[in-house]
Amino acid sequence: MFRKLLTLGFALLLALGAEGATAGEWVTVKRVNDGDTVQLADGRLVRYIGVNAPEIQHERNTAEPFGFEARARNIELVGARRIRLEFDLERFDDYGRALAYVFLPDGSMVNEKLLQSGTAYCLYRMPNVKYEARLLEAQREAMQDRRGMWREWREKEGRYMGNRNSRRFHAASCPEAKHISSRNRILFSKRWEAFWAGSAPSKDCLAEFSIPAE
């Protein structure tokens, strides 16, 4: 009896958490920082869940390919607009930014639109995976149609080691790749294959996003 009550209580907590995550809140964008981050009128920073846009130029870092295009696309979508934030299980990242799926008044998802335009790529991170399949489908659509960053992608075969668990991939020569357990290890001959599978480059040995050209 006690075990049954415990199970029912756990299920209720999950249901309440899911309901709160789905409800979200309406806010106004004050500033678009880059392709996947905005500042709200109340001062909060919001980092989009499930996507990663190439970096723009910062104090010590040069811009990555498509970094400014990604910010321009984000400005086009949400600049000074009302948006709805929908949350997942984890509400904040290590920098204190709110983590959210961002929706426009017409119901479309900004995270998804960035992927569809080829100005961002999927970034899987547990436990925020509610729209994982939907976002990967959007990325594959852009890759298949050669949109945005995928347009000029020309790549020779190489060796890349992916981790089935973390969905990150490394250059096979990277020391971190050797620490991946055999059951989680997956070999890719091209970065394209890794992205298609929903993996993102690991910053351990692929620190900067680049577009290969043969």
Cβ proximity of 79 and 110 under 8 Å: no
How does strand 82-86 pair with strand 25-32?
antiparallel
Residue 78, class by beta-carbon neighbours within 10 Å (0-12 exposed, 13-18 middle, 19+ buried)?
Answer: buried
Nearest Cα neighbor of 114 from 104, 126, 106 is 104
Catalytic residues: 47, 55, 97
75: Cα separation from own chain's centroid: 18
Q: Residue 63's CB: how many other CB atoms inside 10 A?
A: 15
